[in-house]
Structure 1
Amino acid sequence: MAFAQQKILLASSSGLFDPMEGLLQQSGFKVSKCSDGAQALEIALKAKPELMLVDTAIPVLPADKLVQILRSNSKTELNSIFFIGPDGEQIEGFRNKIDRYVPRPFNNEQLLAEILTFFSRREKSEQLGKTRTEVEGDLKQISLPDLLQIFSHNRKDGVLALSNNKKKGYIHLLEGQVVSARIGRVSAEKAFFRLLLWDFGKFRFTPGSPQIENHIDLATDQLLLEGMRQNDEMLAQMSTFPAADKLLELAVPPEHLPKGLRPGTLEIIELLDGETHVSHIVDNSPRTDYEALQVLRALLEKGVLRESRSEKDEIGEESVLLNSEEVVSIKDFFGESDALLEESSAKLIVLAENDAQAAAFLQSLQGIDEFEPEPDFLQGGADLALGDIGRLDISDKFHLRLFLLPAGDESAPFWRPFCHRLFGVLSLARDESLQDAEKYFFETAHVPVAKYRDVENFDGILPLRRGDRLGLRKLLHYFAVRFTGSEIEETII
């Protein structure tokens, strides 16, 4: 694969990219360098590099201002940027599926691999855009925005069929412009923005003039940017919106509704028929999902709408092990703010002296509907196992893996590799025999540690009886505080 014609701009005043410059040149890229944001803007407009690596600490013209200007220019609005900065930094104007954020410190060879993958996918997309026959592919290999940009560049006519598990969607193109989109009963821009959330699945493009009415007027590049902007903001604010399964109702009689409500707000209110699910309102609103959820949030805050009283009576806080806000916070913490609707998991490490302790803990979870033991562990031998011993299905999109980890001194080398996607640590030790492991995860890995005690066997720090749903919820809430930032009433360790 030749990269001789591919241009990359490195923008940093600190020599951050000096090692990368040599690696990129050895790989055949044409590399330009600059030391401030103003120079980066000038080069980006003149040389039009395919990729920019920008140090977020760049002087003169800050990184967020630089990207704001680039996004407002039709020649550079879809340029890809790799931002390099401290872990957790937020860049205004950052766009998922177009940009990348690489936290410092970074591995130069790993970053090079990401760059090579970026250009490899770009090349595959361009080749696909030139074909005149029906083509199929995987969205993990070529993202939907990349596909549509290539089709737009090559002025393609046809139908792009998408599948994600059992869901199907369709996008119609005329001379490279998106003119219609549909997913289920939802159509137009609303459907298109939903399809942009699909990070995985299959696609099939069938060339030919689409015989369909034009429902979308925005140019494809503007449509992509607006869709990604709305999706990014919606996912970032998801914890502030009412959950899809919530029942809402009017809090005031219709005749007493505030005067001067906007047409869009009235459209939402008219969709309420007594107690109505949020999902029904959002699906049937002509507005995009983000716009509809914004209206619902505002109406709830102003007291025009309220959660159904019958739902509050029937469904208490104890009915779920973790609520939707906690799940969203956890997934966001693990960098999944752009994939909140996709299935994922986290680990709850269980520290034990022997398998008998772990088995006793699993017995206490019997009777919890969301709990599923690992058959291989139940059929295991006498030696202390390492691996999954069960799972807790928190929601249809998130589950906790119960991961048994030997905690003796001889097992210390195993601890660090298992800190990835860690929800919390539960110690089953009867005494201080596992304190080294507890101390490591609490002080070094900065993960909350709770001590479990079976009330029938020994004095309890955290008593948890068989089928004790409230006790389990209390335990999970203790760990979830790390992600939500809320307060807890007592300390478990």
Structure 2
Amino acid sequence: MAYRILIVEDEPGMIELLTVALEDEGYEISIASNGEQGLKKVEHEDPDLIISDVMMPDMNGYDFCQQLRSNPKTAAIPFIFLTAKKDVSDRVRGLNLGADDYISKPFHVVEVVARIKTLMMRSKRVRPNQSSSPMPETEAAFAGDLEKMSIGEVVQTIALTRKNGRLIVVNGNRRGEIYFKDSIVTYADVDRKKGEEAVYRLLSWKNGQFKFDSGATAETPNIRKTAESLLMEGMRRLDEYYRLLNDFPATDSALEALSLTEGDLNPEELQVLNYVNQYSTVIDVIDHSKLGDLKTLQILVKLQTNNIIGVRSGAETAAEAESMDYDQLAEDLFG
């Protein structure tokens, strides 16, 4: 028997789009135009999953979800908000009410289908012709694409809902992890960075996918700070990155040492100069440095200003480029 999905939506175009896409996947679709109709449909049809808008007449999606979660007979039905409301506070409200997922419009249909399949597998919803054993109350994954929800928004959502577990972020062949416990970040790791520096680097990623696994704990914590404090410091650092990159060589530019006045340099500056001799390009120097991304970039700027390092012949600086994209520069460097 096909799985039944209830769509609670008042926009005909959206209903048609979802219906066509989900029926093509083999799902049986039922429609309600507001929360009140949705409650009646749930009572008579027992859907396997519900997709609901937020802003609807008579009864909005929040009230609809709250009533479902307060009823033991309907509390475990997987529930997805699909809405134009994009603010973090709206997302947090929906998740706090018990929604399993929150997808903002506009969206890709393939993403919605993938989220539905994930929820179905995790909830193991029982059909009448299957085993009559009770459905396990497992929590669905909080997952998505960084182009639709930034890392900052993801971290803030997890912290505000006080979820405990592991955030996994994947960007091509790169992978980062952040562990949370009661709004406290306890562990972070990405590339060669760990702890706070790993969080700051992840905050600058603009592309990739994320997934939150509830319940996972860090075996060896390497940080203990509130997510809020890390976000505030991370945003401050990003602003500084952009400012420094404005007059600095492109991240793939090759650097070289111009002066050997090592006696005038402090240990950190000597360390960065050594990285320049080893790795050459701006992006490689920052990636391998143990001083942190911002600190390393600050030292590189100072060394260049003092003519201790320079760009190899033929390399282009940002100031010389006619149409340098600084967002792309930051993305090349950090994400």
Q: TM-score, normalised by structure 1?
A: 0.38
Alignment of 1:53-202 (within 5 A): 116-118=85-87, 120-124=90-94, 126=96, 127=99, 132-202=139-209
1:239 positional shift? 2.4
- Match of residue 296 from structure 1: 300
Matched, 1:331 2:325: yes
Distance 2:246 2:303 in 1: 16
Distance 1:272 1:202, change over 3 A: closer
Greater radius of gyration (CA): 1
CA RMSD of aligned residues (A): 3.7
Contact 2:244–2:298 under 8 Å retained in 1: no
1:207 positional shift? 1.6
Contact 1:153–1:176 under 8 Å retained in 2: yes
Alignment of 1:33-432 (within 5 A): 116-118=85-87, 120-124=90-94, 126=96, 127=99, 132-253=139-260, 256-258=262-264, 261=266, 263-273=267-277, 276-307=280-311, 311-312=312-313, 315=314, 324-325=318-319, 330-331=324-325, 337=327, 340-342=329-331
Contact 2:183–2:226 under 8 Å retained in 1: no
Distance 2:182 2:208 in 1: 25
Contact 2:250–2:329 under 8 Å retained in 1: no
Distance 1:128 1:327 in 2: 47
SS at structure 2 position matched to 1:280: helix
1:189 positional shift? 2.2
1:305 positional shift? 2.1
Q: Which has the higher contact order (CA 8 A, sep 6+)?
A: 2
Q: Which residues of structure 1 form unaligned runs of 5+?
A: 2-26, 29-113, 318-322, 344-396, 398-493
Distance 1:279 1:133 in 2: 38
Distance 1:328 1:234 in 2: 20
Distance 1:236 1:115, change over 3 A: farther
Distance 1:240 1:215, change over 3 A: farther
What are the Cα deviations for residues 40-61 of structure 1, in whole angstroms up to 9, with x where unaligned? xxxxxxxxxxxxxxxxxxxxxx
SS at structure 2 position matched to 1:163: strand
Matching residue's letter, 1:279: I
What are the Cα deviations for residues 256-285 of structure 1, in whole angstroms up to 9, with x where unaligned? 5316x2x43233234343672222221122
Contact 2:162–2:183 under 8 Å retained in 1: yes
1:325 positional shift? 4.2
Q: Which residues of structure 2 form unaligned runs of 5+?
A: 1-7, 9-56, 59-82, 103-137
Contact 1:121–1:141 under 8 Å retained in 2: no
Distance 2:215 2:182 in 1: 10
Distance 1:125 1:165, change over 3 A: farther
Distance 1:324 1:211 in 2: 41
Q: TM-score, normalised by structure 2?
A: 0.54
Distance 1:214 1:264, change over 3 A: farther
Distance 2:157 2:269 in 1: 37
Matching residue's letter, 1:258: D
Distance 2:215 2:287 in 1: 30
